[in-house]
Amino acid sequence: MVQVRELHEWPSAEAEAVAVQERLRSMVRFDGAPEEVRTVAGLDVAYAEGSDDVIAAVTVLNLADLSVVDSSVVRARAEFPYVPGLFAFREAPSLLEALAGLDVEPDVLVCDGQGLAHPRRFGLACHLGVLTDLPSIGVGKTSLGKYDPPGPERGDRSPLLLDDEPVGSALRTQPRVKPIFVSVGHRCTLDAACDLVLRLAPRYRLPETTRTADQLGRAESRR
């Protein structure tokens, strides 16, 4: 079971949430990499149509063959309003509950969202990484910053800049396919994060962690 550190209460107001991000971002570590990665969790959130329900889906993959070895899904009411830059306060409580429901503790968390590539350098991947103290990575489908297109081949990457500061990489996971945007969440270097994401994306643009978690959330939303 994934252990969650109780480092703050979940605020209901925007100013309180910003204060939590400002306080916790000093706890983020950008050094090192897991000594051995055997299991990787994908985390994704869907929103039920016509309601404020959040569907938090987590899948755990065996890195050796990318098979799903565990999964957990939680459907709950979103308690925090929709505010750009503060999505973690809307999504993280349910994701943490889903993580707590796993039987297999993952070695790394791969979030469908941002890590350091965030206005206050504390996106969802940073928040979940700090609260669980697990290595975490943010993988975004769209860019929050500026970048020059990486080379056309798989593995080509270019710096992702926010306020002229490097916050991640635009990473080409498949030849001549749109890049994805990788940023560090916690306890991982950017090089290690990009290497892992490439291993998780042998065939498609998005890593299998994101794809399987998205499929699990979609299946739950149809029920």
pLDDT by residue (tens digit) across 130-174?
999 999 999 999 998 999 999 999 999 999 999 999 999 999 999
DSSP reduced 3-state for 171? strand
Residues annotated within a binding site: 44, 112
**Domain CATH for 151:** 3.30.2170.10
Residue 88 domain flag: yes
Contact 43, 128 (CB under 8 A): yes
pLDDT in tens, 40-51: 999 999 987 767
Residue 211 domain flag: yes
Residue 29 domain flag: no
Residues annotated within a binding site for Mg(2+): 44, 112
Contact 39, 62 (CB under 8 A): yes
Give this prediction's pTM.
Answer: 0.96
